[in-house]
């Protein structure tokens, strides 16, 4: 696909306005636009134009070879990267620094075939000697000593400051696959002059990323199956435990029913025995005994052992097993 020289890529068109009209920052800090659906570029006010120009040329170079450069589609689970702007990566950041780079809502990606590769462009910072004067920090190299007789309070320290040099980061936007590569400017050598080689390098990395994605998918599948097996084992153990408890609870209820039945039968036999002996009593005593028998039977009325048996719950009524064979 041939792209005319000077073409502004759709990801770059209008981006400069949003970067320059963002949150207030000092002139020696990276810009922080309010808009988050933007191209993944981090630069200072002085380095923005150059960073966007490089991004534009790089994206057009990818597009000319049939590779789409877009903001990650919202339906795909693609993740951005937390870029490190320090030129000397690995060195500790300023102890009291609260600076944090702006990050877009969705990553900028290039599709090499069906695989997405994240792209981030960062203006690097360098740790230099700066001088605090008139409420702000300036590079010591830009400091102009006051004229004789002028008294201006100032002091020097070391701070991370935007260097004007760029870093390109290509990375895996897939959350379960860690992979990244980067290229950065040094001295007078610019990344813009290396764009054809950068495009080829990213193209060459696509097969490796595809292999890593597939390996991660297989690992995730194995891990998921293992998790399911462990979950089922826990559920089966819990199921067996609840089955055994249901047997204990059911047996305890049945013991109470039998105890109730035994007591009821004992009382019934007692009343029947008393009733058979009424004929041997004098009429007056027999009449009193009959009244007491009726009062006793009325007092115990409603304590039917059959009704108690109907309230008893079997183990299967207390708990229904979840797995076949566990209720044996």
Task: Please name which of 278, 283, 280 lies closest in space to residue 293, comparing C-alpha atoms.
Answer: 278
Task: Give the pair of three-digit tokens for residue 186.
Answer: 């040094």
List Cβ neighbours of 54 (8 Å cut-off, separation of 6 or more): 121, 166, 168, 190, 191, 192
**Percentage of the chain surpassing pLDDT 90?**
52
Per-residue pLDDT band for 59 (boundaries 50, 70, 90) equals very high
Residue with tokens 């102009």: 144
State the burial class of residue 184 (Cβ atoms within 10 Å of its Cβ: 0-12, 13-18, 19+).
Answer: middle
pLDDT for residue 301: 67
Mind listing the pLDDT tens digit for each residue in 7-31? 999 999 999 999 999 888 877 789 9
Q: Give the CB-side neighbour count of residue 146, counting CA atoms within 13 A.
A: 9
pLDDT value at 282 more than 50: yes
* Residue-range domain boundaries for the chain: 15-212, 225-318
Give the mean model confidence (pLDDT) for residues 247-274: 86
Let me know: does 171 contact 117? Beta carbons within 8 Å: yes
Q: What is the pLDDT of residues 159-199, one digit of tens each?
A: 788 888 999 999 999 988 999 999 999 888 899 999 999 99
Q: Is the pTM of this model over 0.75?
A: no
Closest-CA residue to 128 (of 141, 118, 119)? 141
């Amino acid at each position: 696909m041939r792209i005319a020289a000077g073409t502004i890529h759709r990801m770059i068109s209008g981006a400069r306005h949003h970067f320059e009209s963002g949150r207030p920052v000092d002139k020696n800090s990276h810009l922080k636009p309010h808009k988050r659906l933007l191209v993944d570029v981090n630069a200072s006010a002085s380095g923005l134009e150059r960073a966007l120009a490089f991004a534009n040329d790089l994206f057009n170079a990818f597009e000319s070879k049939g590779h789409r450069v877009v903001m990650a589609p919202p339906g795909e689970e693609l993740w951005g990267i937390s870029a490190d702007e320090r030129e000397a990566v690995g060195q500790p950041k300023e102890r009291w620094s609260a600076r944090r780079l702006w990050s877009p809502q969705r990553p900028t990606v290039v599709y090499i075939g069906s695989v997405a590769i994240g792209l981030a462009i960062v203006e690097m910072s360098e740790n230099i000697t700066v001088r605090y004067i008139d409420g702000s920090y300036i590079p010591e190299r830009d400091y102009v000593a006051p004229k004789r007789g002028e008294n201006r309070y100032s002091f020097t320290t070391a701070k991370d400051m935007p260097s004007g040099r760029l870093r390109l980061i290509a990375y895996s936007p897939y959350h379960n696959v860690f992979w990244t590569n980067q290229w950065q400017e040094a001295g007078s050598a610019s990344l813009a002059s290396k764009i054809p080689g950068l495009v080829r390098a990213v193209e060459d990395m696509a097969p490796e990323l595809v292999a890593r994605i597939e390996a991660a998918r297989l690992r995730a599948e194995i891990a998921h199956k293992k998790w399911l097996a462990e979950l089922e084992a826990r559920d089966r153990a819990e199921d067996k435990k609840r089955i055994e408890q249901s047997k204990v609870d059911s047996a305890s209820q049945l013991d109470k029913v039998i105890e109730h039945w035994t007591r009821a039968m004992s009382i019934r036999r007692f009343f029947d025995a008393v009733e058979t002996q009424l004929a041997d009593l004098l009429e007056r005593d027999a009449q009193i005994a009959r009244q007491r028998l009726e009062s006793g039977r009325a007092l115990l009325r409603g304590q039917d052992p059959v009704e108690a048996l109907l309230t008893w719950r079997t183990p299967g009524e207390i708990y229904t097993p979840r797995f076949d064979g566990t209720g044996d």
